[in-house]
Amino acid sequence: TPCADQLIGQKSLKEKLRESGNNQVVFMQLDLASLESVCRFAETFLKTEPRLDILINNAGVLGSGRTKDGFGMAFGVNHLGHFLLTKLLLERLQQCGSSRVVTVAARLHCFGSIDFPLIDSEKDLVTGQSMCHTFKAYCNSKLCNVLFTRELSNRLEGTNVTCYCLHPGVIHTSLCRNFGLPHLLTPIAKLFLLDPNMGSQTTLYCALCEGIEPFSGRYFANCSVQQPSVKGQDDALAQKLWEVSERLISTS
């Protein structure tokens, strides 16, 4: 159970141990807003865990500010952190028979775009820090998730590792609160938004369902294959994003 905040992580660990009765659950600290932390986590994991059958990239930051490496927060956490983590753990995944990489994207990727000159000049997907820019950065980062999965699948063709991305549904979590959902609207929101248990169903489907291997690289929603946006199907865009991401993590 990776988590950036140690106190929250330890609390979550106790809950999972109590609920599951499985004493094999462990907590490892991981801050996706720090590439150094990602490297430390991967090093610790590879030293202590002999198997990795399923990697779920589940971070979804919707907020302004910069990561410890100077990237825009959504770009750095939602895409680059996952990108580096997956690359560092990929060899272990390939050693473990049929394994999977599942990345939680969002339907909002349909509103996303990628400006490579802007990434080069600003290390970000947007030009400002307003609420509008923050929302746009989130949409853009979710498009990155879809493209990352597509290119990863292309690079893993012929191996025993498959990968999938997905829209989990609109879930009532801290992401909604962080974007300014008024406290008075919370009871109303709960009537329309999925609770975390229901919102995890498509993630679990992509991680565990047998027979979906031919759909590696595809986008899922409501536990079925869906068409992503036109940009989300662009192989050239996906390849360029991969190459730019590799350069960014190597120079940071």
Catalytic residue among 138, 164, 205, 219: 138
Written as six digits, the tokens of 220 are 């899922």
| Region class of 60: left (phi > 0), else alpha (psi between -120 and 50), else beta | beta
* Bridge partners (DSSP) listed for residue 163: 101
In this structure, the number of other CB atoms found within 10 A of the CB of residue 20 comes to: 10
The secondary structure of 30-69, three-state, reads CCCCCHHHHHHHHHHHHHHCCCCCEEEECCCCCCCCECCC
The CA-based dihedral angle spanning residues 121, 125, 130, 136, taken in that order and rounded to the nearest 10 degrees: 160
Q: Give me Rg for the CA atoms of the chain.
A: 18
Looking at residue 189, its amino acid is A
> From the CB of residue 160, how many other CB atoms can be counted at a distance below 10 Å?
14
Strand extents, DSSP E, 15-139: 28-29, 54-57, 99-104
Among residues 39, 37, 45, 43, the alpha carbon closest in space to that of 67 is found at 37
Cβ atoms of 178 and 167 within 8 Å: the answer is no
Please give the DSSP secondary-structure letter assigned to residue 195.
P
Polymer length of the chain: 252
Contact 136, 219 (CB under 8 A): no
Q: Is 205 a catalytic residue?
A: no
Q: Which residues are catalytic?
A: 138
